[in-house]
């Protein structure tokens, strides 16, 4: 079997984050073909274009890790109907200097989690707007706006509802197929890195 390395980016730094619980649940529900790893973003200094010529080591390390994967799974909360700053900062860091973006051609998928009624729809679609510009082929279907109300996870962080687990398995299988379909451009990037 050919394994695909996937970076999982979680847009919340909170210890009890619903989105981090979701990331861990998705890792356990994913098909064997995906080798998923959460890549942390909280340590990244804020993007500043003045530093493009002498980037902080944390930026370099982050870009290298993104360049080395076959795809990216974005799992994001919604902050004020958009993407949390920590995730937007990481996207900006990975995108520069101009012409040297780590994101280009990496197949991606977006899943949003919120206790709110619309499951982070606003953040999910704001993020997709950036991914269009960054030339990240983003999986269209199934869409995933997850409303994680009280009782969604049990004390072990597992998803309590069978039908939701089945949906998320389907989501991850579709993502695996998506990554294979769009893998060639991402592979060129990792070879060049």
Q: Using CB under 6 A, which of 66, 69, 74, 77 touches ligand FMN?
A: 77
| Min separation Cβ 112 and ligand FMN, Å | 9
Neighbours of 85 (CB within 10 A): 11
When asked if residue 56 is in the footprint of ligand FMN (CB under 6 A), the reply is no
- Determine, following the binding rule CB under 6 A, whether residue 12 of this chain makes contact with ligand FMN: yes
Single residue of 6, 8, 9, 18 touching ligand FMN by CB under 6 A: 18
Residue 9 interacts with ligand FMN (CB under 6 A): yes or no:
no
C-alpha torsion angle, residues 169, 178, 120, 48 (rounded to 10): 130
Q: Which of 50/150 has CB closer to ligand FMN?
A: 150
Does position 2 interact with ligand FMN (CB under 6 A)? The reply is no
60 contact partners, CB below 8 Å, separation of at least 6? none
78 binds ligand FMN (CB under 6 A): yes
User: Going edge to edge, which strands form the sheet with 4-10?
Assistant: 34-38, 4-10, 71-76, 108-114, 145-147
């Amino acid at each position: 079997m050919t394994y695909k390395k996937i970076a999982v980016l979680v847009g919340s730094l909170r210890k009890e984050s619903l989105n981090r619980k979701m990331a861990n649940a998705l890792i356990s529900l994913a098909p064997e073909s995906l080798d998923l790893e959460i890549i942390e973003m909280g340590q990244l200094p804020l993007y500043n274009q003045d530093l493009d010529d002498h980037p902080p080591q944390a930026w370099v390390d982050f870009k290298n890790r993104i360049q080395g994967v076959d795809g990216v799974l974005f799992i994001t909360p919604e902050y004020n109907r958009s993407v949390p700053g920590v995730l937007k900062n990481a996207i900006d860091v990975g995108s520069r200097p101009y012409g040297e973006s780590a994101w280009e051609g990496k197949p991606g998928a977006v899943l949003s989690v919120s206790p709110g009624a619309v499951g982070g729809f606003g953040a999910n679609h704001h993020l997709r707007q950036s991914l269009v510009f960054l030339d990240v082929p983003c999986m269209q279907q199934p869409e995933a706006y997850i409303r994680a109300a009280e009782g969604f996870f049990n004390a072990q962080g597992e998803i309590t509802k069978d039908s939701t687990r089945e949906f998320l398995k389907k989501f991850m299988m579709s993502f695996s197929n998506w990554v294979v379909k769009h893998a060639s451009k991402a592979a060129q990037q990792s070879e060049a890195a």
